[in-house]
Every structure is written in structure tokens, then in C-alpha cells.
Amino acid sequence: MRIRWIPAVCALLVLGACNETRFESPPGDEIVACDPAWKGLWVDASEPRSSDEPDELAFLVDPECRFLMLERPEKDGPPKQIHIPVNYVHDRGKHYVVVADNQLGETVKLDPVHGIEPAPEKSFFIARYQIDHDRLRIWQVDSRRTAHKVIDGVLDGSVDDSHNELHVFIRGDRARILDIVRKQKIFEDKPSANVRRSTLSLDEYERQRSARRAGKPS
């Protein structure tokens, strides 16, 4: 299982390969379905590209604030737009993006939460983000650090570390999960995703990309 944030990615669930942390509840009650600062076409800003190589698409947030993951099934084909319901939490100057695992549909194949019987009907992925003008950085949960907090009794939950995979589940109601993201060092130290807002529309981007690729050998 792999969920990614950039090229061919869902910029929001940056999980390491086979490492994941899910939460029993979202953080707090003040959850909104739109952050207008996310609107626009976002491209990968993690690596500089040559002048004739287009930036890799990350995702699109349309005028209705729908989060659209952009996948390109064929190298020279148009991107496929996949709607994923996303929610946002703003708390004490920090910002979090929240996705329910049962909203991912066929986008990503997820196993039930490990180590919990019966498995919850849904759980939540949480990441922290920061937007500075047209730059967006996202920090994923550090699953190994969070697992140690469960093992040490700091957090209530379960850890399944086997077959080169790490699955962490954190228990708690909304108030408890909000308290955890406020007070516990659970997010990675460095951003897991770094994207920038393009000045182009998706159609303009595709025309520019096609023109660039037409002048290059495949």
C-alpha cells in the first residue's frame, strides 16, 4: 500500500511506503470543507526542472473547492481527475488537512485498521500544512516516532510492525486527537511534500506540456 502526495499523487496523504498512521477521530469539532488558500493548480516544487521540462502536476483545487487528484495513466495522455473529499482544521495558528479512509474509494486500496477488532468503520489520516503565498508544504505523521509513543504508553492505540510494514492506530475522541496534535511531536521534522501554485489553468498547462514534449524525443 502506498499513498503519495506529488506526481501521480494525492498531495495530502504523504505516507511512506508501507508506513501509515490512522486516527480514531478527526482533530476537534471545528472542521471545514474548504480552505480557499488551496484553490488553484499545484505542481511539484521539490526539484528544479530544466527549461524544456514541464513541472509535474500534483493536484487541482477547483473554484468549488473540490480537491482533485491528478493521475496521468498514459505518458502523453490527459490527466485523470479524481475527486477526494478533504477537510481542514485551523487551530492556534496551525493548519491540518484531514481525510477519512472510507472516502478514498478506489483511489488507494487500504486494508482495515491493523490490530483492532472489530475494525472501525472509518478512521482518519491527518497531516499538517503551511501555505506561504503560492507555496504549500505538508508534513506527514512520523509513524515510527508515533509508534514509540504508543509503546511507551504516552498515546493510546495499537502498533503492528511486521513484514517490513508499520501500521499505527491512535485512539481518542475529537478532543483527545486535537490535544495530541497540539502537544505531541508526531509530525515529521521536514516537509514531506513541497508544491507551488501554477499561474496556468489546467488546460493551459496541458497545451504547454504538449508543445514542449512535441519538440523532444520521447
* pLDDT (0 to 100) of residue 169: 96
Tens of pLDDT along 121-159? 899 999 999 999 999 999 999 999 999 999 999 999 999
Cell triple for 189 = 521534522
Could you state, in order of their start, the residue ranges of all structural domains in the chain?
19-209
Task: State the residue for C-alpha cell 502536476.
Answer: 57
Q: Pairing mode, if any, of strands 165-170 and 19-23?
A: parallel
For residue 14, is pLDDT > 70? Answer: no
* pLDDT (0 to 100) of residue 52: 52
Tens of pLDDT along 82-110? 899 999 999 999 999 999 998 886 667 77
For residue 49, is pLDDT > 70? Answer: no
As beta bridge partners, residue 99 has 125
pLDDT band at 218, cuts 50/70/90?
very low
> Percentage of residues in the chain with pLDDT exceeding 90?
57
* pLDDT (0 to 100) of residue 110: 77
Mean pLDDT of the chain: 85
pLDDT band at 211, cuts 50/70/90?
confident
Lowest mean pLDDT among 6-10, 13-17, 197-201: 6-10
* pLDDT (0 to 100) of residue 4: 41
For residue 3, is pLDDT > 50? Answer: no
